[in-house]
Every structure is written in C-alpha cells, then in structure tokens.
Amino acid sequence: MSVKGARSAWILNGTLVTQDSRRRALRAHLRIEDGRIAEITGRAPRKIPAGTTTFDARGLTLLPGFVQAHVHLCQTLFRNQADDLELMDWLQKRIWVMEAAHTEETLHASALLGIHELLTSGTTTVLDMGTVRHTHAILDAVRTTGIRASVGKCLMDHPSTTPPGLRESTRDALMEAEALYRDWHGRENDRIRVSYAPRFVLSCTEHLLSQVRDDARERGALIHTHASENLKEIQLVKELVGCENVEYLHQLGLTSRRLVLAHCIWLKPNEKDLLKRTGTHVVHCPSSNLKLASGLAHVPDLRARGINVALGADGAPCNNNLNMFQEMRLAALLHKPGNGPKTLPAQEALDMATRDGALALDWWKDIGSIEVGKKADLIALDLNCPENGALPQGKEPDPEQLASQIVYSSGPQHLRATWVDGSLRVRNGRVVGLPADRLMEKVYRAQAALRRNLSPAKGQKNSRFGR
C-alpha cells in the first residue's frame, strides 16, 4: 500500500490476534476499505478487483497497533544525555535546559526521530506531551509520517516554580493551546487530535488548571499530565497546595474520563478511590520509573479496583527507548515477585498496550482491536523464529500462547509491517517516506544546533522545582 493509503486492500493469509472482547485468535483474510476494516473472513477472496492492493501475510501474526498513552517526542534528541539522575535533578539539570534550547527545526527533528522508532517497533498511536513552544512542529511531523497522535502543548505558568526559559503567562499559554486545537484537532481523517497538557501540579497555577478544566470540557478534549511520580514531588505539592496530587486535581474538578495521569506511583487509598469513582485513566511507565528510581506503581491493585491502566515509554532520556515490547514485558514481570506468578499475565499486558491505551485516549471506537468497522491500525509480526518458539503448524492458533510469545519473547526485530488508517507505514524495518539516512542527516544538524543554543543557566534560574 502506498503511504497515502489504498482505498481498497486485502491482507491475506494472516493469523489474527483480534484483541476483541473474546480475545480470539484466528487464521483469516482481512479486507480494508477507506482505511477501515470492512471484512474478516476465513475464505480467500475468489476474485480481487483491479486496483485493489494486496499484502500476503502468510506466516505472519497480525494484531492491533500498540497505543502508547504517555510519550515526549520533544525529548527524543536528548537520549543518553540525562542518565543516572533522580527525577528532580534530571529535570532541572538536563531536561528543562534542553527543552528551552529547542527551535522549531530541532523540535521537528526530535519528533521525526521518535516517530521513526515508534512506527518501526509497532506503536501506531501516541498521547504526546510537547514542550512549551513550537508544538506545531510536532503536529507537522505527525501529519507527514502518518502516525496517529493526540498532541498537547506543554503548559507552564507558575511564577515561582518554573524556569524563565519555559515559563509563559497564563493568557498566552491558553490562547496558543486554543489555537492549536482549532487548527489541528480532527485533521487527517481524525488521525490527529489536540489535547491539553499542563505539565504537572508544581508547574501550573490554580487559575491555569481551572481554565484547562473548562476549556477541555467545552471541547470534549483530553487532559494529559503527570501525577505522583516521585516522593520529593509529592512533598513539594503538599507544601504548595496543602494536599496530594490526585486530591488537588479532584478538588479543581479535573478528574474524569477525559483525564490521563502518567505514573501514579505513590497514591494514597483515597486517591485510588477518586480515580475509580471518576473514571480517570492511569499510565504505567515501568522503564522510566525504574531508571529514575521513582518506584513501582501499584498496577495490580489499580486494575483490581477497575481503574483503567495503559502503558507508555515516557521520553527517550528516561528510558532510553520508545519500545512498547519492553514496556509490556516489564509490566508483566515487575509485579510478580510481590504479588505471585499469576499476577499480570501476558494477555493483560497486551491489553494494556492495545485496548486499554485506546480507551484512555478516547479512541476505542476506532482502534485497539481488530474488528469490522474499526480503523486499520495494524502490525504484522514474524513469530516463526527460533528465539520465540515458533508457531505450531497445522493447529488452530492458541490466543494464550500468542500473547505469551508477543509479550515475553518478541521485539521490534520481529516486526514486518505497520499500517495506520489502512496505509502501509513500515515494511521490513523501513518507514515509508522517511528514509533513515535522510532522517539522521536532519538529526545531526539538529543536535549541532541544540549544542549551540544550550546555556548552563537557561531553564534553572528562579526555579524551585522541576518537571
């Protein structure tokens, strides 16, 4: 299929991990019309009309593309430049300084670099938090590469807790957020959406957060922020507003099915009750939480309470990759020592990476499973490899075994194709329309420009906190 997408296409002879309500796995052929799944059938089409594109998925396993519910494309250029630091030092000494040095061109390169990695490792949809300026550069990268994304301009207006290099007035921050929503939300056949992204409680005034609540409610938009990631952060929040993160957000009327909270490691029981009661979503970021020594989120408890928990890689400088296979595997493994070997089995981890992410992003009607009527956001994996056991020949596909192979023993090296909106975006490791050599030339130029722009003092002076 071309990068622009075929109006009609068949994916033939695949093994489908549907992720539907019954978690069925079946051998079938799949017909795409205008970017949506029009038919799933066990019978091969007798005659394929002229002009219809075909893809032979014989020997491949098809599943819905991964949905990452928390990433920072603006930070991809900072990979390997902020290691071995805890959250507050990581932010104040590295991340804020580098974000303040971004130009439109360097931010565009950073987004392209991140999207290339996401598409080639099976992620087809992201919820992205940008930096304070040049958010249109991220949205333009989303437009040209074909990934599905909800992107939010980072909002930071607190006069005493934000660095001058990233601080905006409340009015300017909200006006730009409104303009981005007006200009970009729903574009590209609703492949691009715009969300509101106040960075976290410490960086935002009550006035800004209250206005975000009202603006998002009026537009039906998502709100995406960080909460309860680090013990020092929680201490500072209590000093600033007199209560815990989730309590404060609830007092302001922000908790709802439109709120997506990254991390949520250190929650009190009453905060968990608030999340459950309001339908607020949580994003588990296991690699980031480990690398920054932030702690382990109580994911089994959250899920047992009926709280929706999705997955995200966070940013490249605190991970240091954007690989959903790694996040699924870690999510499935980390919680077993304290809760028993049956905790968070492979199928649940796969659910978090697909269905639960789609639910968190309010895209469940269109993505997250392979079903007739949904968008053709798909990935194809070759699981017939020595390192992951190969698929049994001549037998009906076993959903439990397939989930285990995908979560525990697969990686980006097994990906053979990625589709978004029915358009082929990756084939055999190459992103259509974004050659790796041309991308890296742009990245090298952007890295050189960032080095020229960096100032040791930028982003730190007059800032007490960080995120």
In whole angstroms, what is the distance from residue 273 CA to residue 252 CA? 16
Q: What letter does residue 378 receive in the DSSP assignment? A: E
Mean of per-residue pLDDT scores for the chain: 94
Per-residue pLDDT of 69-108, as tens digits, reads 999 999 999 998 888 888 888 888 888 899 999 999 999 9
Q: What is the mean pLDDT of residues 335-359?
A: 97
pLDDT band at 466 (very low <50, low <70, confident <90, very high): very low
Task: Please report the pLDDT score of residue 366 as a whole number.
Answer: 98
Exposure letters 370-394 (e unless 16+ CB within 10 A, then b):
beeebbbbbbbbbbeeeebeebeee
Contact status, residue 146 vs residue 420, Cβ threshold 8 Å: yes
Distance CA(423)–CA(437), nearest Å, equals 22
Element (DSSP H or E) covering residue 360: helix 355-360
pLDDT at 51: 87
3-state DSSP call for residue 188? helix
Same-fold call for 8-64+375-430 versus 66-360: no
Mean pLDDT of 330-336: 97
pTM: 0.95
Give the CATH fold of the 66-360 domain: TIM Barrel (3.20.20)
Lowest mean pLDDT of 5-9, 55-59, 181-185, name the range: 5-9
**Quick check: 459 pLDDT over 50?**
no
Each residue's pLDDT tens digit, 279-292: 999 999 999 999 99
The CATH label, of 1.10.240.10, 3.30.70.890, 3.40.50.970, 2.30.40.10, for the domain at 8-64+375-430 is 2.30.40.10
State the pLDDT confidence band at 6, using cuts at 50, 70 and 90. Answer: low
Domains of the chain, residue spans: 8-64+375-430, 66-360
pLDDT digit string (tens) for 375-407? 999 999 999 988 887 776 767 899 999 999 999
pLDDT for res 13: 96
Q: Quick: pLDDT tens for 254-273.
A: 999 999 999 999 999 999 99
